[in-house]
Amino acid sequence: MRCKTLTAAAVVMLMMTAGCSTLERVVYRPDINQGNYLVANDVAKIHNGMTQQQVAYTLGTPMMRDPFGSNVWYYVFRQEPGHEAVKQQTLTLTFDSNGVLTNIDNKPNLTTSRD
């Protein structure tokens, strides 16, 4: 009789923890950072009329360039904290045919420094 009670209790405990949804915060998940780390102070230095070389000196090489030419540069920073929502910062820079910066698209806007 005692063996049946222990077996039933063990089965109930296994069923309760099978999905691990109650224990999700206990499991360690490392922070994952990928891409170009963007700082608001560096992004503020970028302005229309700069050359590709000047932009690369200020921000570093872009994560991705337009595959059909080199007129659009993408600086992407993706941050995935352990148990929090994913955050992504995308800076898109468009250059003209002479390599001069013509458009800056910063989504979402960096307002404070990430030091």
Q: Is residue 77 part of a domain?
A: yes
Q: Tell me what the mean pLDDT of segment 94-112 comes to.
A: 83
The predicted structure's pLDDT at residue 65: 84
Q: Is residue 23 part of a domain?
A: no
| Domain region containing 50 | 29-109
Q: Is residue 42 part of a domain?
A: yes
> What whole-number distance in Å separates Cα of residue 65 and Cα of residue 71?
8
Q: Is residue 4 part of a domain?
A: no
What's the number of domains the chain is made of? 1
Q: Is residue 20 part of a domain?
A: no
pLDDT in tens, 29-87: 888 888 888 888 988 999 999 999 999 999 999 988 878 877 899 999 888 887 788 88
Instruction: Decide if pLDDT at 98 tops 50.
Output: yes
Q: Is residue 98 part of a domain?
A: yes
> What whole-number distance in Å separates Cα of residue 98 and Cα of residue 25?
52
